[in-house]
């Protein structure tokens, strides 16, 4: 059974700092991994999708890496801003059971960027 | 291109009532999935539809049901509401399998 873990559960940093969020998964048979952000009471916003054949994906100040063999992904945020404050979630598709888009989510990292 | 839309955005019901939530995926997307999010349980998968067929169902009681129409719009229904059904209900759509998934803003259901 696929399990996804995110460390740390919460993080508080001063504005301008570079930071890394971690995501671990137990079953390496994944097609892709997706990072989302969620603002309080809102839906999920897709940040980055990394296909299993990729090692990295970048979007603006965000860079996500994927190491399938070790079951890990990291989300790097450069020059953090108060507007980056949100909960960050990683998710992988269920690895077995036929064609599916069912996502297995991590528990999230609550990020607070202090001005 | 319009994103995923969900209606209504907020809903207040009393125990025992039933409710129907609607999700309109991004144009051209054939896959729609539903999730329940609560502070204690996080995001839990409800069901998934692809081209009007339910492909997967989460571990929820039979009071939770759904369907997908030929235009890919989806509805979920919860009958005999319980206090514990209070949650944010999110739907996601994607074009095909192993594709990027996009979420709607959610429907906040409060059961009194």
* Inter-chain CB proximity A43 and B104 less than 8 Å: yes
Whole-angstrom distance, CA of residue B32 vs CA of residue B72: 8
Q: Nearest residue of B to residue A108 by CA position?
A: B42
- Residue in chain B closest to A87 (alpha carbons) equals B42
CA distance B68 to B45: 16
Taking the C-alpha atoms of residue B21 and residue B7, their distance in angstroms, rounded to an integer, is: 6
The per-residue pLDDT for B41 is 86
Residue A97 pLDDT greater than 80, yes or no: no
Contacts with A6 from chain B: Cβ below 8 Å: none
- For chains A and B, count residue pairs whose Cβ atoms are closer than 8 Å: 63
Would you state the structure tokens that stand for residue A47, as one six-digit string? Answer: 């940040």
* Residue A99: per-residue pLDDT: 72
Q: Which residues of B touch A34 (CB under 8 A)?
A: 100-101
Radius of gyration of chain B (CA): 13
CA atoms within 13 A on the CB side of B5: 7
| B41-62 as b/e: b if 16+ CB within 10 A | eebebbbbbbeeeebbeeebee
Tell me which DSSP letter residue B73 carries: -
Contact between residue B73 and residue B93 where contact means Cβ atoms under 8 Å apart: no
pLDDT in tens, B56-97: 899 999 999 999 999 999 999 999 999 999 999 999 999 988
Q: Can you give the pLDDT at residue A56?
A: 96
**A47–chain B nearest CA distance, Å:** 10
Instruction: Report the sign of the C-alpha dihedral through residues B102, A59, A106, A17, in that order.
Output: negative
What confidence tier does B99 reach under pLDDT thresholds 50, 70, 90?
A: confident
In angstroms, the CA B97 to CA B50 distance is 9
Q: How far apart are alpha carbons B110 and B112 in whole angstroms? A: 6
pLDDT in tens, A17-55: 999 999 999 998 888 999 999 999 899 999 999 998 999
Whether A100 has a pLDDT exceeding 90, the answer reads: no
Instruction: Report the share of chain A in percent with pLDDT over 70.
Output: 97
Tell me which H or E stretch contains B111. Answer: strand B107-111
Determine contact: B53 vs chain A, CB below 8 A.
no
Residue A95 has pLDDT above 80, yes or no: no
pLDDT tens readout for residues B33-50: 999 999 888 899 999 999
Tokens of B42: 């996080």
Among A46, A89, A99, select the one facing B100 at the smallest CB separation: A46
In chain B, residues with a C-beta closer than 8 Å to the C-beta of A89 are 43
Q: What is the pLDDT of residues B13-36, one digit of tens each?
A: 999 999 999 999 999 999 999 999
Three-state secondary-structure class, residue B60: coil
How does the average pLDDT of chain A come out, rounded? Answer: 94
Span A4-22, average pLDDT = 96
Q: Which chain A residues are Cβ-neighbours of B35 within 8 angstroms? A: 103
Concatenating the DSSP letter of every residue in chain A gives ---EEEE-SEEEEETT--EEEEEEES----SEEEEEEE-TTS-EEEEEEEETT-SEEEETTEEEEEETTTTEEEEEE-S--GGG-EEEEEEEE-SSSSS--PEEE---EEEEEE-
Which three-class secondary structure state does DSSP give residue B85? helix
């Amino acid at each position: 059974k696929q399990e996804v873990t995110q460390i740390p559960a919460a993080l508080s940093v001063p504005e301008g700092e570079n930071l890394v969020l971690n995501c671990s998964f137990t079953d390496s048979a994944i097609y892709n991994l997706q990072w989302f952000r969620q603002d309080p009471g809102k839906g999920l916003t897709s940040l980055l999708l990394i296909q299993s054949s990729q090692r990295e994906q970048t979007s603006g100040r965000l860079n996500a890496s994927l190491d399938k063999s070790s079951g890990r992904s990291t989300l790097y945020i450069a020059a953090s801003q108060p507007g980056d404050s949100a909960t960050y979630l990683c998710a992988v598709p269920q690895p077995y059971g036929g064609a599916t888009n069912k996502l297995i989510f991590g528990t999230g990292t609550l990020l607070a960027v202090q001005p | 291109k319009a994103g995923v839309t969900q209606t209504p955005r907020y809903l207040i019901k009393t125990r025992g009532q039933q409710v129907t939530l609607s999700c309109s995926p991004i144009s051209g997307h054939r896959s729609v999935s539903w999730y329940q999010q609560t502070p204690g349980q996080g995001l839990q998968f409800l069901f998934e539809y692809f081209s009007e067929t339910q492909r997967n169902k989460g571990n929820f009681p039979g009071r939770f049901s759904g369907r997908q129409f030929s235009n890919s719009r989806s509805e979920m229904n919860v009958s005999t509401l319980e206090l514990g059904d209070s949650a944010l209900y999110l739907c996601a759509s994607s074009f095909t399998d192993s594709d990027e998934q996009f979420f709607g803003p959610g429907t906040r259901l409060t059961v009194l």
